[in-house]
Amino acid sequence: MHELPLTHRIFAQAMKAAEENGAVRIDAVYLKVGEMRDFIEEITQKYWDHISKGTIAEGAKVRFIRVPAAAGCSSCGEIFNFDWRSKAVTICPKCGSTDAALYSGSELEVVRIAIV
């Protein structure tokens, strides 16, 4: 259900960009979405289809670019992917440290709007 307000915001951003660029149609919106985000493509597209009816965005596709969960080791600087669903402690594969910070995986941003 949280996809609806976020889709509204994405739609508003796309419409603003289209207006600023004199577009007659929005073909697609590309989103960078971290895999830790509970944001579902099919639901987002359904909401988009509903919100965009009768606008220049009607028929546009919402495309997801998934970003894996990665951590940065505070000890050696290694950046590595990890299974964020696992309850196991995240361990750096290079030095074995458990002192790591989230590097990627929580993103949610519009990275491109394809307009005509």
72-104 pLDDT per residue, tens = 999 999 999 999 999 999 999 999 999 999 999
2 is an annotated ligand-binding site residue: yes
Residue 28 lies in a domain: yes
Alpha helices in the chain, H assignment, sequence order = 3-20, 41-52
CA–CA separation, 87 and 96 (whole Å): 17
Give how many domains the chain has, as a whole number: 1
Q: Which of these, 74, 67, 61, lies nearest to 113 by C-alpha position? A: 61
pLDDT at 43: 96
| Cα 66–chain centre separation | 7
Q: Is 59 annotated as a binding residue?
A: no
Residue at 35 is within a domain: yes
Report the predicted TM-score, pTM, of the whole model to 2 decimal places. 0.88
- For 16, other C-beta atoms within 10 Å of its C-beta total 11
What local confidence, expressed as pLDDT, does residue 75 receive? 98
Residue 58 in any domain: the answer is: yes
Residue 89 is which amino acid? Answer: V
Q: Is residue 93 part of a domain?
A: no
Which residue segment(s) compose the domain that 61 sits in? 3-68+106-115
The reply to whether 57 falls in a domain is yes
Confirm whether 37 is domain-assigned.
Answer: yes
82 in a structural domain: no
d(C-alpha 48, C-alpha 40), whole Å: 12
76 known member of a binding site: yes
Report the pLDDT value the prediction gives residue 67, as an integer from 0 to 100: 98
Q: Which residues of the chain have pLDDT under 70?
A: 1
CATH code at position 38: 3.30.2320.50
pLDDT in the model for residue 1: 60
What pLDDT is attached to residue 46?
98
For residue 85, is it within any domain?
Answer: no
